[in-house]
Amino acid sequence: MKLNIFNTADEVLTALADHFIKVGSESIAARGKFTVALSGGSSPKKLYELLASTSYADQLDWEKVYFFFGDERNVPQDHKDSNYLMAKKALFDPLMISPVNVFAVDTTFEPAEAAAKYWEMISAFFDEDELSFDLVLLGLGDNSHTASLFPHTPVLHDTTPGVKEVWLEDQQVWRITLNAPLINEARYIAFLVYGEGKAIAVHHILEDAEDIEEYPAQLIDSIAGETAWFLDEAAAADLEDRE
């Protein structure tokens, strides 16, 4: 596990954008394509905007980048809460990414069917290739969830790679998520976490005793690749060990 701590959120975003370009370029050089699972929520929007800016837009052959989603809310793709819509506005549209390069969750199906179809889509895409994303981007919720691996949900006990529907009792909504075994197959996993509101969750995940029911992001640990955290000082404030 690699811990990268920066003074400001802007420095975190620049470091992760550089990492994205580095992993993307290496993947394209090695295998002719770059497969990335995007995170949702509010934190990554600025990262996507940065990647689409003039500083980064010409640093990658975007036609060879294939975008997936680590998780999705069970809402139509034009809904304000859709992770797909956020990425479309911040990244795909500005870079004029072809729709054939974007693999979104089809939320017109019932949640269980949408999850099964997304897993079929991912499996068909990788086909004969090793089923592992080059990069999985993740965030961290204040309640220690990542992707849509929420506390006390059955998906936390999955032991084989796949995609699952998740019911959130407190919010009365469904989500669709890659499970931890699938995320952990990735060559690179990168957590983007900034802001003081995340400090307690960061401490729980990185320094508390294992309790995956309470702290689901503790499940994330790349099997053969690298898991890196990109934090600002505010999010790292409760860490005792920064090595």
Ligand X SMILES: O=C1O[C@H](COP(=O)(O)O)[C@@H](O)[C@H](O)[C@H]1O
Please pick, from the candidates 27, 35, 74, 83, the single residue that binds ligand X as defined by CB under 6 A: 83
CB of 61 or CB of 196, closer to ligand X: 196
Candidate residues 65, 66, 84, 141; the one interacting with ligand X per rule CB under 6 A: 141
Please give the single-letter amino acid code of residue 191: F
Q: Contact with ligand X (CB under 6 A): which of 42, 54, 159, 172?
A: 42
Q: What is the largest CA-CA distance in the chain?
A: 45
* Angle between helices 44-51 and 9-31 in degrees, nearest 10: 60
| Mask for 99-138, x = binds ligand X (CB under 6 A) | ---------------------------------------x
Least distance between ligand X and beta carbon 174 (Å)? 12
The interface mask with ligand X, positions 10-29, x = CB under 6 A, is --------------------
Quick one: three-class SS letters along 108-136? Answer: CCCHHHHHHHHHHHHHHHHCCCCCCCCEE
Kindly state whether residue 41 participates in binding ligand X, applying the rule CB under 6 A.
Answer: yes
State which residue, 71 or 232, has the beta carbon closest to ligand X.
71
Q: What is the DSSP secondary-structure string of 169-230?
A: TTTTEEEEEE-HHHHTTSSEEEEEE-SGGGHHHHHHHHHSPP-TTT-GGGG---SSSEEEEE
The count of chain residues that interact with ligand X, using the rule CB under 6 A, is 15
Q: Calculate the dihedral angle through the C-alpha atoms of 40, 172, 163, 145, rounding to the nearest 10 degrees.
A: 50
- Given the complex with ligand X, which of 139 and 161 has the nearer CB atom? 139
Which residues would be at the binding site for ligand X (CB under 6 A)? Answer: 39-43, 70-71, 83, 138-141, 146-148
